[in-house]
Amino acid sequence: MGSKTFQKSAVKRLYKELKSFESADGLALVQPNTDDLSVLYIDIKVLDNPKIYPVDETYRLVVNPSPTYPFDAPQIKFIKYDRYSDTSFKIPIHPHIYSNGHICLNILYDGWSPANTLHSIAISIQSMLSGNTLTIRPTDDGDYCSRAPSNPRLTRWVFDDDTV
C-alpha cells in the first residue's frame, strides 16, 4: 500500500538493498510486510561491548524510507514496542540516544547523502554503540522527550560533537 506512492528510483533501490543486505555480524534487515517498503526494521546486536550492551540483547530500529529515497534520508529511530510481532525492545543507553529512541547522528539528518545505504547506516549506529563508554542519556533527555515530534527528522539538530 505504502509502496504505491514511492518513486520508481526508491522502489528499485530499496529492493536492491533488501536483496543485498548481508544479515550478519549482529545486523539484520527485516521487511515485516511484504510489498510494503514504507516500514522496515533493522535489528542490531552489539557484539563487542558487553559491559554496556549484553551480547544477546537485540535493539530494533524502525526505518521509514521516504518516497524520494535515497535523495532524502529515511526516518530512523529505535523502538520500544513492535506491534507486528508484539515484542518489546530496549532503547540502548548512549549519550546521543534519547529515551524515546531518537538518535543524534548527523548522517540521518543534515549530513545525509544518497551514497548511504541502510547497511552503512546500520554499521554507523552499531559502531556508535560499540565505541561507547558512558551509560548515560543525553543531558537534555527529559526536556527533549517531552517536546520532541514523533519523527526525529522534524527536530532541529545541533551536532556539537564530531567524534560520533
Partner 1 sequence: MKIKLNSTYAIYSWHWDVPEDELCGICRVAFDGTCPTCKYPGDQCPIVIGECHHAFHLHCIWKWLETDTSRGLCPMCRQPFHTDKSMAVNQGIDLTAAESGMVQNRGSAANGGENTSDSTVDLASEEEDTE
Please give the positions annotated as active site.
104
Smallest separation, CB 95 to partner 1 (Å): 25
In the region spanning residues 87 to 126, those forming contacts with partner 1, defined by CB under 8 A, are 110-115, 117
Could you say whether residue 156 binds partner 1 (CB under 8 A)?
no
The 52-91 site mask, x for binding partner 1 (CB under 8 A), equals ------------------xxxx------------------
Long-range CB pairs of 33-39 (<8 Å, 24+ gap) are 33/84, 35/1, 35/3, 36/1, 36/2, 36/3, 37/2, 37/3, 37/6, 37/10, 37/11, 37/65, 38/2, 38/3, 38/6, 38/64, 38/65, 39/2, 39/63, 39/64
Could you say whether residue 159 binds partner 1 (CB under 8 A)?
no
Residues of this chain that interact with partner 1 (CB under 8 A) are: 7-9, 11-13, 16-17, 70-73, 110-115, 117
